[in-house]
């Protein structure tokens, strides 16, 4: 199981999901332009999403763009 | 004596009596507690009348709204704004974000220096004011965390489009 913590308006949502669901969710988030960061600060790139491990805690950071 | 300093601010789309905030000096920055989001309109209107008529001094406003400093902080940290600040503090303590100093966070990434004013979220890149956009309405500290992590991990996203 992987813990996903999503930053956002209604307080932070933290969900524990099976590995394959986490991979799907992170890929969806990265494709939209967001960032995913592990608890140790390591950035997760699209090509490395499948390498996440069970018990990883991942922060999903919303999209920020230059003005 | 309380560490909370109460202030009335002008906010678009809010009547004056609803826009009271508390300011509190904390570790390296000033915490802004949006009282107008935490208290009932009746309590805020009562405060507004007392302040307008100068019938209140020092920290008497706390007893007028029947709350202690600890209770205000507890209400704040239970709110989305406060939860976002808690995460920010956790990330700073874990060493993932730099410690705030004099109200600013300074990050070096991609041979540039990024400075963010915590209270206003003004961004300076190599000393020059720049701007950024968020996808949706995020609490203040969620915005700050997102900005810092974007600077650290994908600073190209902040280039002017």
Q: In this prediction, what percent of chain B has a pLDDT beyond 70?
A: 94
Whether B17 has a pLDDT exceeding 80, the answer reads no
Give B114's contacts (C-beta < 8 A, 6+ positions apart).
B106, B107, B108, B123, B124, B125, B151, B155
Nearest CA in chain A to B146: A61
Classify the C-alpha dihedral B50-B52-B57-B60 as positive or negative.
Answer: positive
Domains (range + CATH), chain A: 2-61 (3.10.20)
Whether B104 has a pLDDT exceeding 80, the answer reads yes
- B42 vs A66: CA distance, rounded Å: 41
What's the gap between Cα B99 and its chain centre?
16
Q: Give the mean model confidence (pLDDT) for residues B70-78.
A: 95
- Model pLDDT, residue B48: 85
* CA-wise closest residue to B17 among B74, B70, B68, B65: B65
- A65 vs B131: CA distance, rounded Å: 9
- With CB atoms and an 8 Å threshold, state whether B158 touches A62: no
**For chain B, domain boundaries:** 5-78, 93-158
Cβ–Cβ under 8 Å, residues B1 and B57: no
A 11-40 → B contacts, CB under 8 A: 11-12, 33, 35, 37, 39
CA distance A59 to chain B (A): 10
CA distance A53 to chain B (A): 20
Which residues of chain A neighbour B133 with C-beta distances below 8 Å?
64-67
Whether B16 has a pLDDT exceeding 70, the answer reads no
| Mutant choice from B96, B121, B140, B143 vs A, greatest count of A C-beta within 10 A | B96
- Model pLDDT, residue A18: 96
Q: Give the H or E element holding residue B80.
A: helix B80-93
- B158 vs B161: CA distance, rounded Å: 8
In terms of DSSP bridges, do strands B132-134 and B122-125 run parallel, antiparallel, or are they unpaired? Answer: unpaired
Whether B161 has a pLDDT exceeding 70, the answer reads no
CA distance A21 to chain B (A): 23
Which residues of chain B neighbour A66 with C-beta distances below 8 Å?
130-133, 157-161
Q: Give the mean model confidence (pLDDT) for residues B87-115.
A: 95
- Model pLDDT, residue B128: 94
DSSP letter assigned to residue A32: T
Look up residue A30 and give its two tokens: 């990265």
- With CB atoms and an 8 Å threshold, state whether A35 touches B159: no
Nearest CA in chain B to A42: B153
Q: What is the pLDDT of residues A3-60, one digit of tens each?
A: 999 987 666 788 999 999 999 999 999 999 999 999 899 999 999 999 999 989 999 9
Whether B136 has a pLDDT exceeding 70, the answer reads no
Q: Give the mean model confidence (pLDDT) for residues B72-88.
A: 94
Predicted TM-score (pTM) of this structure: 0.91
- Model pLDDT, residue B52: 81
Cβ–Cβ under 8 Å, residues A4 and A23: no
Higher pLDDT, B103 or B1: B103
């Amino acid at each position: 199981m992987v813990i996903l913590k999503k930053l956002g308006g209604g307080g932070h949502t933290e969900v524990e999901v099976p590995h394959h669901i986490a991979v799907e969710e992170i890929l969806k988030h990265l494709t939209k332009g967001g960032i995913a960061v592990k608890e140790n600060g390591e950035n997760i790139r699209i090509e490395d999403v499948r390498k996440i491990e069970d018990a990883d805690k991942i922060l999903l950071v919303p999209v920020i763009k230059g003005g | 004596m309380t560490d909370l300093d109460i202030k009335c601010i002008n906010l678009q789309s809010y009547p004056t009596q609803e826009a009271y905030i508390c300011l509190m000096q904390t570790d390296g920055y000033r915490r802004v507690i949006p009282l107008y989001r935490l208290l009932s309109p009746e309590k805020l209107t009562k405060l507004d009348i007392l302040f307008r008529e100068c019938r209140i001094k020092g920290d008497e406003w706390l007893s007028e709204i029947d709350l202690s400093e600890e209770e205000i902080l507890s209400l704040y940290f239970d709110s989305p704004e406060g939860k976002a600040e808690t995460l920010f503090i956790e990330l700073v303590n874990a060493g993932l974000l730099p410690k705030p100093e004099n109200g600013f966070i300074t990050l070096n990434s991609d041979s540039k220096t990024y400075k963010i004013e915590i209270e206003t979220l003004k961004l300076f890149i190599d000393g020059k004011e720049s701007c950024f956009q968020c996808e949706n309405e995020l609490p203040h500290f969620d915005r700050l965390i997102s900005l810092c992590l974007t600077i650290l991990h994908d600073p190209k996203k902040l280039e002017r489009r």
